[in-house]
Amino acid sequence: EYCIFVPLPKNYIAAMDFSEMSEEDVTRMMRCALDERTPTVQSALSMGNTTDALTQSLKKPPVGVSCEELKLDSARLVWSVTNAVKSADIDKHLDTLDDLQTDLLLKYVYKGMAQLDGENYSSLLAWHQAIVARTGLGSIVRAMAERRNVL
């Protein structure tokens, strides 16, 4: 049987190893990270700097945590940015993101569409179209298949 090991970049999500930490510690760490980036994102949004807000909101995603509320709060932060962006500017924003961030954004888009009380499905669909046009189907497969996921 062949095993091909590709060296993962240092900040790759799967490379983050939380096996030594307990579940509550990981949740608390992720919650702290979320509380840290919420004011940064909100101030960037209020200044109209949506590109910065987007990159900030995609930092330190709550992967490998089972706390639904934390994942939802983190997602709501991202959705507050994606809703603020006009559909004509979506491509410009995607230019500023790297591959991992684009993948993560697609996962948040899917999470957004799963909500029953959202109103901004048209904006999420526009983001979905733009992201898949760039990354192809691989991004969708990763959104569905990755075990430690924000979904």
Partner 1 sequence: DETQVSSYIMANTLKPYLDAVRSTLTAAMCLENFASQQVERHNKPEVEMGCDPELLMKPVVIARNAQERVLVEASVNSLRVSIGIKQADEIEVILCKKFVRFLNQRAENFFIMRRTPVEGYSISFLITNAHTESFMKHKLVDFLIQFMQDIDKEISELKLRVNARARIVAQSFLGEFQ
Q: Which residues bind partner 1 (CB under 8 A)?
A: 110, 113-114, 116-118, 121-122, 124-126, 128-129, 132, 137, 140-141, 143-146, 149, 151
Q: Where are the alpha helices (DSSP H) in 1-151?
A: 23-46, 50-57, 68-84, 90-96, 99-114, 121-135, 137-145
Backbone angles phi, psi at 150, to 5 degrees: -80, -10
- Whichever of 41 and 124 has its CB closer to partner 1, that residue is 124
Q: How far is the CB of 22 from partner 1 (least distance, A)?
A: 21
- Whichever of 70 and 125 has its CB closer to partner 1, that residue is 125
Q: How far is the CB of 71 from partner 1 (least distance, A)?
A: 12
- Whichever of 18 and 110 has its CB closer to partner 1, that residue is 110
Tell me how far CA of residue 145 lies from CA of 8, 95, 142, in angstroms.
18, 25, 5
Q: How far is the CB of 89 from partner 1 (least distance, A)?
A: 16
- Whichever of 44 and 143 has its CB closer to partner 1, that residue is 143
Q: How far is the CB of 92 from partner 1 (least distance, A)?
A: 19
Name the token pair of 115.
């909500």
Name the token pair of 24.
């509550």
Are 84 and 50 in contact by the 8 Å Cβ rule? The answer is yes
Residue 134 CA to residue 20 CA, distance in Å, equals 37
Q: How far is the CB of 70 from partner 1 (least distance, A)?
A: 17
- Whichever of 51 and 120 has its CB closer to partner 1, that residue is 120
- Neighbouring CB atoms inside 10 A of 19's CB total 6
